[in-house]
Structure 1
Amino acid sequence: MTTNLDLWPIGNCQVSGLVDRAGRLVWACLPRVDGEPVFSSLLSGVEAGDAEAKGVWAIDLEGCVKSDQAYLRNTPILVTRHEDEQGNAVEIIDFCPRFTSNERVYRPVAFVRVVRPVAGSPRIRVRLRPTRGWGNGDVDHTAGSHHIRYILDREAVRLSTNAPIGYIVEERVFRVEHPLYFFLGPDESFSTGLAPAIERMLHDTTVEWQAWVRGLATPFEWQDVVIRSAITLKLCQHEETGAIVAALTTSIPEHEDSGRNWDYRYCWIRDAYYTVQALNRLGALDVLESYLTYLRNIVEGSRGGHIQPLYGVLGEAKLEERIEEGLAGYRGQGPVRVGNQAYEQVQHDAYGQIVLCNVQAFFDSRLFRMAGVEDFTALEAIGDLAWEVHDKPDAGLWELRTRQSVHTYSAAMCWAACDRLANAAHRLGLPDRANFWQDRADKIHATVVDMAWRTETQRLSATFDGDRLDASLIQLLDLRFLSPQDRRYRATLYALETGLRRGTDMLRYDSEDDFGLPKSAFNVCTFWLIEALYQTGRTEDARRLFEEMLARRTTAGLLSEDIDPATGELWGNYPQTYSLVGMINCAVLLSKPWAAIR
């Protein structure tokens, strides 16, 4: 069991893992992010440092009294330094190889660890204890002269190492006198020397990530925040298909003993839209291009019909939700859920997000594949769906499970679909289609304003019925549905901040849902508020609130989905794309210009 979310992600856009403050790998799934956990102690209910802990890969320094961690600059390569009372010290380098070789990206289903003695005569113990069957079964192993083979449910993985195999198998303490190399990956032998091969992987992976970061258009201020968020968002993309998962974990509760434990290791159309939007602001077009390929497959597969709010990383439509009893959950607070019932829901905002992601391809000459008339015709089918459902009930962006309403946010996203199709038609020189889509957009806009505005309270409601406060209304500004000067927007923003803000933090809403009253704040809602404060002229308030949110980050520089407004403790799946997007967007918006250094 890990007692907090102070965790460091590593990965290569095929697999990912989380390393705790003691340098232990406590979460990793194979053969991809939505697979079964081979390291599962994050959700085991047992502390990773305990003698009986399973689902952990620990490299512990005997008598350790001090540990420091940091990423290699502009990479997701983690360096952990352990030191004992006598000053003996080791350095552990954790990474997943990812680099271009022979015109292809090499990203194996593998985790690499390098242990270097850096002072004195350090002694370590290696505990490599993988799990299978979601904690329900023990893992058998066989050992060779330079490897250990672990038998999982569907396949085997092999640890190749130059460390003494007997010490690893029996978990004995031994002295580190030279660099040790560990490669846990496919059940294949190394065809070359292990040490030079891993050193080359480390070098090439470092260069690859630093070159990617070098191409980012970062703001002048908060560059470390933006770069770390961008790298981690990149890790959330399953590069093989272009899918972008909402988080790297499942079943971290939204708050203590809440039962609000969800599996976020899938691609939500909404979350992916926000991710590519943020990375586009930094010029990371590779993520957008890969995602658009994934999205085109989803749209074509729907054959003009309903589009789900989420899909699997390979485009799987059916994501049946189940509870795995073999793991007790984060801090023992289950259930541990696999799959997500939300795939069955109707969420109309997805149509707007599909068009918003695609529309850039009609305008951006930097893209390898710009969109044309054929692409526009395909997108018109999405616009037709948006038009048909803009005033129909749905589950909303917060995915309510037991009731539906006509949600203002969803309707505004349907408006955005039609509005941006009009823009694309103008770009393609199709005036008749531009007028057609602009007419639909205007009608939706009028409907939303008419149905959502409440004369009695002088604000917009989150639904066409009732008078509900919901932070999603802040997004009407980002969508360009309303302007910062619009009195209706300003009145709504005042009501939202008054009703939903709790100190530094913003709630999603303050009414009961399927699980009662929410107790945690949703981090991205606070970032939405920061953007709105800035755009409505409250610059200093926005900067101050942004700095307060940055102070909530883990030592890795990241945020989870939720936060306890009273204690500041992070909850929810981690790292979460929404929260990373919020940090990037606010930094870009609030930063002083580069001209400030002249």
Structure 2
Amino acid sequence: MSKHTYDMGLIGNCAFLGLIGTDTAVRWLCWPRFDSSFVFGSLLDDEKGGEYSIRPADGAAFTSHQYYEENTNVLCTEITTEEGSYRVTDLAPRFAQYERYYKPLMFVRVVEPLGGTPRVRVACRPVGDYGRLPLTRRRSSNHVAYLGLEEEIRLTTNIPLTYVLDEQDFLLNETKYLVLTYGAPLEAPLEKTAEQFLRSTLAYWRGWVKSTSIGNFRQEQVIRSALALKIHQYEDTGAIIAATTTSLPEAPGSTRNWDYRYCWMRDTYYILTAFNNIGHFEEMDRYFQYIANLPRPKQARYQPLYGISGEAKLVEQELDLAGYLGNKPVRIGNDAYTHIQNDVYGQVLVALLPLYVDARFQDPSRRDAEQLVTDALDMIAKTMDEPDAGLWEFRHIAQKHCYTYLFHWAGSHAAARVARRLGRPDLEAQAEQLRETAAAHIEECFSPGQEAYTSAIGSENLDASTIQLIIMGYLDPTSDRAHRHLEALEKELKTPEGLFYRYRHEDDFGTPETTFLICSFWYVDALACVGRVDEAIVEFDKLAGYTNHLGLLSEDVDAKTGSQWGNFPQAYSHVGLVNAAYRIAKKLDLPNFVEPAGPGRKAVS
């Protein structure tokens, strides 16, 4: 099989995301929210997904060069044919205005001739309700309105409307502008406004990059990952989604096709760590607010995931769409919201900790904080001996997972520190007792024969999630036990290419066929932790080779072909890259730098 990559670029402004193919076609764009129906979705169905493209006339052969304007999320696609060449610049406007961020549901395309006499054809056919709802068109003097959704989609352009409506070829001999809006239309001058928005958006992203505190290790890769991660935050609520898309298969024919346009609680710690590592306070603060606002009755469970505005019910449905490269089913919603994943309570507690130890945060309401901490500790106590689905969300397998106990341990210690700040010795004592209990359960997962911690109590299976025992400081990284544990995981789960499987045992859908990128970055992080820094650099650089042409990462990689699979771009893969690079940079810049024992006070040696 040849190498498969996602030949698309990502644009976004923290209100919407879009994927643009190297042929200029908009392969994916959901409005008005990240988790809404697509208005352009040819990624999942060429016929039902609509179209928005600026292709060469008459289907002429062409070559393409796609790139980002440096240090921005503004995407350029240059098309060259025998007749001539042109560039399409795509952006989702974002910049400061009136003491707020201006981030409209507006997609701006600037089309410029570069040489020769290029002829192009513009097609714009948005759809609704995942392709089930055709939209009607209404022509005005210099825009086309597409009707049938809750709000109007409008295309404002200086291209003759006849050429657009009839999808007719025309000579591109001057710069053309296309502004597509949802809801509020563009009512300012087209050319002037588009150019101003382009300049302002370029300046915003470059200013944002300058405000990051990125070390000198592989800066370009870290910057691209940080930019991609940033626009996966739905700024209105602060939620950060796992990926832009739904139903891109983890492996061809695997049926592991899931909707990732939601916010997973299990990844809270890693996301906040990534933003902290690049010195970004604003995104952390918004994400904290999202967590604090989740609808959860007192003493009730946290779900493993929620919608971007905190929706609890994310009922899974299958759609009648062709699927990516014919891979079915196409799913929206995600039944994992019904799963029991007990690590979430520790995740929330570790996430709350910076509110009390980071001076950048104003003290939150003591009453609210005490209640959150008390409830989470109570839930850790109640679920300590309860089997769960684990972070990999097994649908028909329940075990007492080592990873869950790790977050019981880390969360309890975080709660103890918060309790001290609140002046609650009773709460601190409860937290310390739970931490000790969790540590005892983690030790029940240790297999003397394998010299490693297994995935769950009573299991002999190894699992990449237990790399976190080193990264989070449960194991002293200088200890023989940490080194032996990592070596056992390498032997069982690492491929010759440096990639990592989540696990190798059968699950509800068989044996995993592809490796999971964030696990590979966890491995790099752990190598640096235990002092194998030269190896960490080599492995990091191998992983950087699994991006697409723009430096964007998928969820999964086929180790044999290097193919990208799974939803794309995968925010958590980029989180893994940022955190691994930070760890290596620390080790390189400060040779005597000693990592603290993670969220817990005392590491196991």
| Category of TM-score, reference length = shorter chain | over 0.9
Answer whether contact 2:32 2:182 (CA < 8 A) is retained.
no
Paired residue secondary structure (2:146) = strand
- 1:277 — aligned with what? 273
Q: Which of 197, 201, 211 is 1:201 aligned to?
A: 197
Task: Determine if the alignment matches structure 1 residue 465 to structure 2 residue 458.
Answer: yes
- Map 1:309-348 onto structure 2 (within 5 A): 309-325=304-320, 327-348=321-342
Task: Determine if the alignment matches structure 1 residue 81 to structure 2 residue 75.
Answer: no
Q: Which of 50, 64, 69 is 2:66 aligned to?
A: 69
State the shift of 1:489 in Å: 3.0
Paired residue secondary structure (1:105) = strand
Aligned length: 585
CA distance in 2, matches of 1:414, 1:343: 20
Answer whether contact 1:80 1:93 (CA < 8 A) is retained.
yes
- 1:27 — aligned with what? 28
The RMSD of aligned alpha carbons is: 2.0
- 1:546 — aligned with what? 540
Paired residue secondary structure (1:516) = coil
Q: Which of 473, 479, 483 is 1:480 aligned to?
A: 473
Paired residue secondary structure (2:77) = strand
Which of 147-156 and 370-379 deviates more?
A: 370-379
- Map 1:76-115 onto structure 2 (within 5 A): 76-86=73-83, 88-115=84-111
The C-alpha deviation readout for 1:57-114, integer Å capped at 9, x for no partner, is: 111134453221211121111011122224x221111011112211222211221111
- Map 1:261-276 onto structure 2 (within 5 A): 261-276=257-272
Paired residue secondary structure (2:134) = coil
CA distance in 1, matches of 2:149, 2:396: 36
State the shift of 1:367 in Å: 2.8
State the shift of 1:488 in Å: 3.2
Answer whether contact 2:39 2:49 (CA < 8 A) is retained.
no
CA distance in 1, matches of 2:62, 2:452: 57
- 1:38 — aligned with what? 39
Q: Which of 508, 512, 515 is 1:514 aligned to?
A: 508
CA distance in 2, matches of 1:192, 1:440: 60
- 1:389 — aligned with what? 383
State the shift of 1:428 in Å: 4.4
CA distance in 2, matches of 1:368, 1:113: 41
The C-alpha deviation readout for 1:185-207, integer Å capped at 9, x for no partner, is: 13555332111111111122222
Q: Which of 501, 505, 519 is 2:499 aligned to?
A: 505
CA distance in 1, matches of 2:98, 2:548: 37
Answer whether contact 1:149 1:187 (CA < 8 A) is retained.
no
CA distance in 1, matches of 2:365, 2:549: 41
Distance 1:189 1:319, change over 3 A: closer
State the shift of 1:264 in Å: 0.2
CA distance in 2, matches of 1:488, 1:459: 8
- Map 1:231-310 onto structure 2 (within 5 A): 231-298=227-294, 301-310=296-305
- 2:485 — aligned with what? 492
CA distance in 2, matches of 1:581, 1:514: 27
State the shift of 1:135 in Å: 2.1
Answer whether contact 1:27 1:56 (CA < 8 A) is retained.
no
- 1:116 — aligned with what? 112
Q: Which of 387, 393, 397 is 1:399 aligned to?
A: 393
- 1:226 — aligned with what? 222
Amino acid at match of 2:565: W
Q: Which of 324, 339, 347 is 1:353 aligned to?
A: 347
CA distance in 2, matches of 1:337, 1:154: 23
The C-alpha deviation readout for 1:466-510, integer Å capped at 9, x for no partner, is: 211110010111222211133333322222110111122110001
State the shift of 1:426 in Å: 3.2
Q: Normalization by structure 1: what TM-score?
A: 0.94
Distance 1:5 1:269, change over 3 A: same
Answer whether contact 1:160 1:183 (CA < 8 A) is retained.
yes
Task: Determine if the alignment matches structure 1 residue 58 to structure 2 residue 53.
Answer: yes
Distance 1:457 1:120, change over 3 A: closer
CA distance in 1, matches of 2:419, 2:184: 53
The C-alpha deviation readout for 1:448-483, integer Å capped at 9, x for no partner, is: 21x212234332221112211110010111222211
Paired residue secondary structure (1:182) = strand
Distance 1:588 1:567, change over 3 A: same
Paired residue secondary structure (1:125) = strand
Answer whether contact 1:114 1:180 (CA < 8 A) is retained.
yes
Task: Determine if the alignment matches structure 1 residue 584 to structure 2 residue 578.
Answer: yes
Paired residue secondary structure (1:43) = coil
The C-alpha deviation readout for 1:405-451, integer Å capped at 9, x for no partner, is: 111101111111111111223344544543432232122212321x2
CA distance in 1, matches of 2:243, 2:122: 29
State the shift of 1:374 in Å: 4.5
- Map 1:526-545 onto structure 2 (within 5 A): 526-545=520-539
Q: Normalization by structure 2: what TM-score?
A: 0.93
Answer whether contact 1:64 1:82 (CA < 8 A) is retained.
no
State the shift of 1:535 in Å: 1.7
State the shift of 1:371 in Å: 6.8
Answer whether contact 1:26 1:55 (CA < 8 A) is retained.
no
State the shift of 1:248 in Å: 0.5
Distance 1:567 1:275, change over 3 A: same
- Map 1:118-137 onto structure 2 (within 5 A): 118-137=114-133
CA distance in 1, matches of 2:590, 2:345: 39
Amino acid at match of 2:480: R
CA distance in 1, matches of 2:107, 2:573: 26
Amino acid at match of 2:407: M
Paired residue secondary structure (2:353) = helix
CA distance in 1, matches of 2:450, 2:204: 54
CA distance in 2, matches of 1:566, 1:441: 42
Distance 1:368 1:183, change over 3 A: farther
- 1:453 — aligned with what? 446
The C-alpha deviation readout for 1:3-45, integer Å capped at 9, x for no partner, is: 741221101111110011222211011111100011110011x
Amino acid at match of 1:471: A
Structure 1 runs not aligned, ≥5 long: 47-51
Structure 2 runs not aligned, ≥5 long: 592-605
Answer whether contact 1:245 1:272 (CA < 8 A) is retained.
no
Distance 1:376 1:15, change over 3 A: same
Amino acid at match of 1:362: Y
The C-alpha deviation readout for 1:100-139, integer Å capped at 9, x for no partner, is: 2112222112211111222233211101122222123433
CA distance in 1, matches of 2:367, 2:352: 13
Amino acid at match of 2:333: G
